[in-house]
Amino acid sequence: MARYASVLELIGNTPVVDISGLSPKPNVTILAKLEGRNPAGSVKDRVALSLIEAAERDGVLIPGKPDQILIEPSSGNTGIALAMVCRLRGYHLKVVLPTNVSPERKQLLLAFGAEIIDSPGSEGSNGAVRLAHVLAEENPEWTFLYQYANPANPLAHYRTTGPEILSDVPEITHFVAGLGTSGTLMGVGKFLKEQKPGVQIWAVEPPSGEMVDGLRSLEDGYIPPIFTDNLGTELLDRKVVVRPRESIEWTRRLTEVGLFAGISSGAIMAGAVKCANLIPDGETATIVTIVCDDGWKYLSTGAWSDDIDDVVERAKKIIYF
Amino acid sequence: MGGVSIMEVEGATIGDVLGSLTVKYPAIKGQLLNDDGTLHRFLNVYINDDDVRYLGGVEAPVANEDEITLLPAVAGGAA
């Protein structure tokens, strides 16, 4: 057993496991990278550490200096990861959180000492981003790391997640991940395309669902600046939307290979299966997917135990991506 | 669109389909397409859940019975 000086040293170097038992085609291997193994429980640990370290390098944050306040919009996992790192560094974190995230996410934020600022659930993540901008402008002394636009977000994946995947799976042909801030796809995608240009990069996005109600018009739409900055439309080969029912069905099916994963990972798995189904018969392929987090934070949704119709209706109202 | 959320439209490409829509609902034209005929940047269009930006954009071919979905671009967060 290894011994570490800090929890922060446990971030990254996550395992990859073969889950081809769920592949629709015998010649298509599917491998899952288990990001729930990160200490604060999600892929966002990598991003949080990268954002904080970049701010400290730039002198925006100073470890040990009292009364330093950060503000960040998050649907949960970035907030939780930032809260953990801030707790260790002594920073005070305010997370702008839509009211319709799972209660476990709120509990975890509070556990790590973060302060929650509610944003309207009907406006989804877009509403949290908008409110964080307003508050950051009103309080210029607060640090706004802004994961949607901060190059340290995709850089975390370019420097760690991407190299880990290529090292563990040199035969990779397809990478499938979720599109939220786009940090994972931009960072891993850029690294893989540089090292192995033939690799296909597939994005999976959740349906906007109830979130559409919060948009007054298309002009309220939002594309993360890091997606635009990294020429995301050119970098991605394909983007598919996955519906709540498919997300839940595949979240459940992941348990067949022993994985108790969060609902966004079920959505990504559904995308990986769509990808596998397009591989011509007789051709081999190796798809790598991301399991963003484990299922613990979603137990209250009843995703594994309740009638699927009820769960799907509930899933339309919560943010799980 | 006038309270209608599902409708049947003719067209061989996504461009044709959106064109047919704007004939029926002229008010939404600026919401769907730019002046040069490309897709509005905050509009995502899917053929059977596949984003058309990666299938040829407005040139993406449409087959009979294909389901086309129009959704605004929104931010995710945890992925």
Query: What CATH number should be reported for the domain holding residue B50?
Result: 3.10.20.30
pLDDT (mean) for A83-111: 94
Contacts of A134 (CB under 8 A, 6+ apart): none
In a domain, B34, yes or no: yes
- Compute the nearest-CA separation of B3 from chain A (Å): 13
Q: Label residue A293 left, alpha or beta by phi (over 0 means left) and psi (-120 to 50 means alpha).
A: beta
Nearest residue of chain A to residue B29 (CA atoms): A218
pLDDT, residue A212, reads: 47
What's the number of domains chain B is made of? 1
Q: Using the beta-carbon criterion (under 8 Å), do B78 and A206 form an inter-chain contact?
A: no
Q: Using the beta-carbon criterion (under 8 Å), do B43 and A218 form an inter-chain contact?
A: yes
According to DSSP, the residues that pair with A46 across neighbouring strands are none
In a domain, B78, yes or no: no
Q: Using the beta-carbon criterion (under 8 Å), do A77 and B54 form an inter-chain contact?
A: no
**Considering only residues 4 to 63 of chain B, which have any Cβ-Cβ distance to chain A shorter than 8 Å?**
31, 40-44, 46, 49-51, 53-54
pLDDT, residue A210, reads: 47
pLDDT (mean) for A301-309: 94
Q: Which long-range contacts (CB under 8 A, 24 or more apart) does A95-100 make?
A: A95/A71, A96/A71, A96/A72, A96/A128, A96/A129, A96/A131, A96/A132, A96/A135, A97/A73, A97/A128, A98/A123, A98/A124, A98/A125, A98/A127, A98/A128, A98/A319, A100/A124, A100/A210, A100/A317, A100/A318, A100/A319
Q: What is the ipTM of this complex?
A: 0.87
pLDDT, residue A294, reads: 97
pLDDT one-digit tens code per residue, B24-37: 888 887 888 888 88
Nearest residue of chain B to residue A266 (CA atoms): B79
**CATH, domain range A7-37+161-317:** 3.40.50.1100
- Please confirm, yes or no, whether A264 is among the known catalytic residues: yes
The answer to whether A316 and A210 are in contact (CB under 8 A) is yes
User: Residues A44, A94, A190, A297: which is the catalytic one?
Assistant: A44
pLDDT (mean) for A97-119: 94
Nearest residue of chain A to residue B55 (CA atoms): A238
Nearest residue of chain B to residue A81 (CA atoms): B78
pLDDT (mean) for A181-201: 97
| Chain B CB within 8 Å of residue A272 CB | no
Q: Do domains A7-37+161-317 and A44-144 have the same CATH topology?
A: yes
Q: Using the beta-carbon criterion (under 8 Å), do B78 and A221 form an inter-chain contact?
A: no
Q: Using the beta-carbon criterion (under 8 Å), do B69 and A241 form an inter-chain contact?
A: yes
Confidence of residue B3 (pLDDT cuts 50, 70, 90): low
pLDDT, residue B32, reads: 87
pLDDT, residue A177, reads: 97
pLDDT one-digit tens code per residue, A3-21: 999 999 999 999 999 999 9
Provide, as residue numbers in chain B, all residues whose Cβ is less than 8 Å from the Cβ of A239.
50-51, 53-54
Q: Using the beta-carbon criterion (under 8 Å), do B50 and A238 form an inter-chain contact?
A: yes
Token duo for residue A305: 């135990």
Bigger pLDDT: A137 or A316? A137
pLDDT, residue A227, reads: 94
CB-facing half-sphere around the CA of B32: CA atoms within 13 A: 23
Residue (of B29, B23, B25, B18) closest to B2 by Cα position:
B25
Asked whether the CA dihedral A235, A238, A239, A243 is positive or negative, the reply is negative
- Please confirm, yes or no, whether A44 is among the known catalytic residues: yes
Residue (of A60, A62, A122, A70) closest to A96 by Cα position:
A70
> Among A202-211, A225-234, A280-289, B28-37, where is mean pLDDT lowest?
A202-211
Which of A44, A222, A290 comes nearest B75 by C-beta?
Answer: A222
In a domain, B2, yes or no: no
The C-alpha atoms of residue A51 and residue A119 are separated, in whole angstroms, by 23
pLDDT one-digit tens code per residue, A111-162: 999 999 999 988 888 889 999 999 999 999 999 999 999 999 999 999 999 9
Report domain A44-144's class: alpha beta
Give pTM, 2 decimals. Answer: 0.93
Confidence of residue B42 (pLDDT cuts 50, 70, 90): confident
pLDDT, residue A209, reads: 53
Confidence of residue A218 (pLDDT cuts 50, 70, 90): low
Q: Given a cut of 70, is residue B75 above it in pLDDT?
A: no
List chain A domain ranges. 7-37+161-317, 44-144
Residue (of A48, A53, A56) closest to A84 by Cα position:
A48
pLDDT one-digit tens code per residue, A46-74: 999 999 999 999 999 999 899 999 999 99
Which of B54, B77, B79 comes nearest A74 by C-beta?
Answer: B77
Q: Given a cut of 60, is residue A22 above it in pLDDT?
A: yes
Q: How many degrees, rounded to 5, is the angle at CA A163 between CA A320 and CA A202?
A: 45
pLDDT, residue A220, reads: 63
The C-alpha atoms of residue A123 and residue B79 are separated, in whole angstroms, by 18
pLDDT, residue A125, reads: 82
pLDDT, residue B77, reads: 41
**Considering only residues 75 to 114 of chain A, which have any Cβ-Cβ distance to chain B shorter than 8 Å?**
75-78
In a domain, B6, yes or no: no
pLDDT, residue B76, reads: 54
Confidence of residue B8 (pLDDT cuts 50, 70, 90): confident
In a domain, B79, yes or no: no
Question: Helix A77-89 to helix A44-57 angle, to the nearest 10 degrees?
Answer: 50
